[in-house]
């Protein structure tokens, strides 16, 4: 299956950044290269989202961003959780990290100096409303005792030669909506039976993410009945036609509003009976004998969208989900292996419909992003055939990869006046994935300490994923430096990593 199935599109980014005398960014010129494989598939849409996330959470008044989808001889790559957002965010945080190292600021100082502020425009001219990222960032920084722990890391590194620790504090924002306008719609079907039970179908696919549970909660709240009276029927085109993909972290938003629309229709028909003070079952019973229609088809289309590529006008995303992560790691410099000592994640999810489900989504996305940025390396033969097939060669995170301490929290004391979603909740599926790369940046930070001791101060490059081999070769000690090989003339690699 892995030999023929598309994977997440690999990216390569080239960038130039201009700063003013106060170390604030004033310009970004970047080119993004995407490995599409042998056909375009969804690569153009992935690139569109990447271009919209190349700023991450930083205000840059002048941006030139060019995306190029490259045809190659490997299998056709395709959509995967994050859809270009994490790739662009990694490039953004890489230039933030490297610039901070070059100008002599800590990474936290440089990031904090360049945060977006409420009401500023992104490079695609979308105003940032309810912009709580800085508040959530400092909340987590204080809650996780970042400054004291960072000082402890520095003290540890002074005393330890072959094991180094590193920390990172990484933010993200993720635009919620399909970039293809026509996909921002959803439908639902609702039947009320004369015994008071409810049958619900919507256009979203339940794949373990808890979508059905949230839709039952929405219907329960709207109809003011217990959840155990509501039953979900499987998603099918003979129930809800023309459903959009269950993707873009928008399924709860769109299907939830469609369910609400159907419930509103039923509530309007039952209003004459509700004013009589009847219980739910009695209302439905009387309405049935009065020949009231107890079925409804709900529909919802996301408002205010309509970005025009080439003109840089219109709204690209309905809103942004934002979050922050802190990772602390310990790296064995002799083997290149690492241990995640602790991870803290703080997310703004609006008024969460189901915090337990959302916490599970955050944990899973973080681990998935951690695997993407540290262990999951795809290698190819020169003829384009995938070498890393199966779990023996393609290393997904295991039990020992899980952070020894893993804390999830939500932004506190924030309002969401501009959010027009179902019950003011926010999408959670994809936004936390990039935060898993905080482990990668923590590893890079540990290597920075090691390289300082080994006579290699300053900035350096560490490609994703940060595998043990790449970590070991980046240490900068005499063993690693003497082990580096240059390809001889006419020599071809047996397998290679693609970008």
Catalytically active residues are 430
What DSSP state is assigned to residue 421? S
Prior bond to 465 cis, omega within 30? yes
* Secondary structure of 170-196 as H, E, C letters: EEEEEEECCCCHHHCEEEEEEEECCCC
The residues, any chain, with a CB within 8 Å of residue 452's CB and separated by 6 or more, are: none
Measured CA to CA, the distance from residue 487 to residue 352 in angstroms comes to 54
Locate all alpha helices (DSSP H) within 382-496, ordered by sequence.
438-453, 468-473, 478-482
Beta strands in 20-109 (DSSP E): 25-37, 62-71
Measured CA to CA, the distance from residue 138 to residue 141 in angstroms comes to 5
* Most distant CA pair in the chain, distance: 89
The residues, any chain, with a CB within 8 Å of residue 104's CB and separated by 6 or more, are: none
**Is residue 247 helix, strand or coil?**
coil
Measured CA to CA, the distance from residue 110 to residue 20 in angstroms comes to 13
Picking from 113, 52, 104, the residue whose alpha carbon sits closest to that of residue 83 is 52
Tokens found for residue 428: 């959670």
Picking from 321, 337, 334, 320, the residue whose alpha carbon sits closest to that of residue 439 is 337
**Residue 330 phi, psi dihedral angles, 5° rounding:** -125, 130
Measured CA to CA, the distance from residue 146 to residue 442 in angstroms comes to 13
The residues, any chain, with a CB within 8 Å of residue 364's CB and separated by 6 or more, are: none
Contact 251, 211 (CB under 8 A): yes
- 286 membership: H or E segment, kind and range: helix 280-289
- Four-CA torsion 170, 171, 176, 181, nearest 10 degrees: -80
Strand 163-176 versus strand 185-192 pairing type: unpaired
Tokens found for residue 488: 């001889």
For every residue of 333-382, DSSP letters joined together read TTT--EEEEEEEEEEE-BS-S-HHHHHHHHHHHHHHHHHHHHT---EE-T
Q: How many other C-beta atoms lie within 10 A of the C-beta of residue 194? A: 13
Tokens found for residue 381: 């033969």
**Residue 12 phi, psi dihedral angles, 5° rounding:** -130, 135
């Amino acid at each position: 299956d892995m030999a023929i199935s598309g994977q997440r599109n690999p990216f390569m980014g080239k960038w130039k950044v201009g700063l003013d005398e106060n170390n604030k960014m004033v310009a970004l010129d970047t080119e993004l290269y995407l490995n599409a494989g042998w056909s375009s598939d969804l690569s153009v849409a992935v690139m569109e989202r990447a271009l919209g996330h190349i700023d991450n959470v930083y205000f840059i008044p002048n941006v030139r961003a060019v995306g190029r989808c490259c045809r190659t001889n490997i299998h056709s790559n395709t959509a995967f959780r994050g859809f270009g957002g994490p790739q662009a965010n990694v490039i953004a945080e890489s230039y933030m990290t490297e610039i901070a190292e070059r100008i002599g600021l800590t990474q936290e100082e440089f990031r904090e100096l360049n945060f977006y502020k409420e009401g500023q425009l992104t490079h695609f001219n979308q105003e940032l409303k309810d912009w709580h990222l800085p508040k959530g960032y400092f909340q987590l920084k204080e809650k996780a005792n970042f400054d004291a722990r960072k000082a402890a890391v520095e003290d540890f590194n002074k005393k330890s030669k072959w094991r180094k620790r590193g920390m990172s504090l990484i933010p993200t924002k993720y635009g919620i909506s399909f970039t293809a306008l026509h996909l921002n719609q959803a439908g639902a079907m609702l039947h009320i039976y004369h015994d008071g039970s409810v049958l619900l179908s919507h256009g979203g696919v339940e794949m373990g993410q808890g979508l059905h549970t949230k839709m039952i909660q929405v219907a329960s709240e709207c109809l003011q009945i217990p959840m155990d009276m509501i039953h979900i029927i499987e998603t099918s085109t003979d129930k809800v036609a023309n459903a959009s993909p269950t993707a873009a972290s928008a399924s709860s938003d769109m299907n939830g509003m469609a369910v609400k629309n159907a419930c509103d229709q039923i509530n309007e028909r039952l209003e004459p009976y509700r004013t009589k003070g009847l219980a739910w079952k009695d209302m439905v019973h009387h309405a049935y004998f009065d020949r009231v229609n107890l079925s409804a088809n709900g529909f919802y289309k996301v408002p205010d969208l309509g970005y025009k590529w080439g003109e840089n006008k219109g709204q690209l995303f309905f809103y942004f989900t934002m979050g922050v992560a802190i990772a602390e790691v310990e790296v064995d410099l002799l083997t290149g292996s690492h241990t995640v000592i602790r991870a803290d994640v703080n997310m703004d999810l609006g008024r969460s419909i189901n915090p337990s489900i959302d916490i599970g989504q955050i944990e899973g996305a973080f681990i998935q992003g951690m695997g993407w940025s540290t262990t999951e390396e795809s290698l190819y033969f020169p003829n384009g055939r995938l070498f890393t097939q199966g779990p023996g060669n393609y290393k997904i995170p295991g039990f020992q990869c899980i952070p020894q301490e893993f804390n999830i929290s939500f932004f506190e004391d924030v309002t969401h006046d501009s959010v027009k979603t179902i019950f003011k909740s926010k999408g959670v599926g994809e936004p936390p994935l990039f935060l898993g790369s905080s482990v990668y940046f923590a590893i890079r930070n540990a290597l920075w300490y090691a390289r300082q001791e080994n006579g290699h101060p300053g900035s350096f490059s560490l490609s994703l994923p940060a595998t043990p081999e790449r970590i070991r070769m980046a240490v900068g000690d005499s063993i690693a430096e003497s082990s580096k090989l240059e390809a001889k003339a006419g020599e071809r690699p047996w397998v290679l990593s693609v970008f």
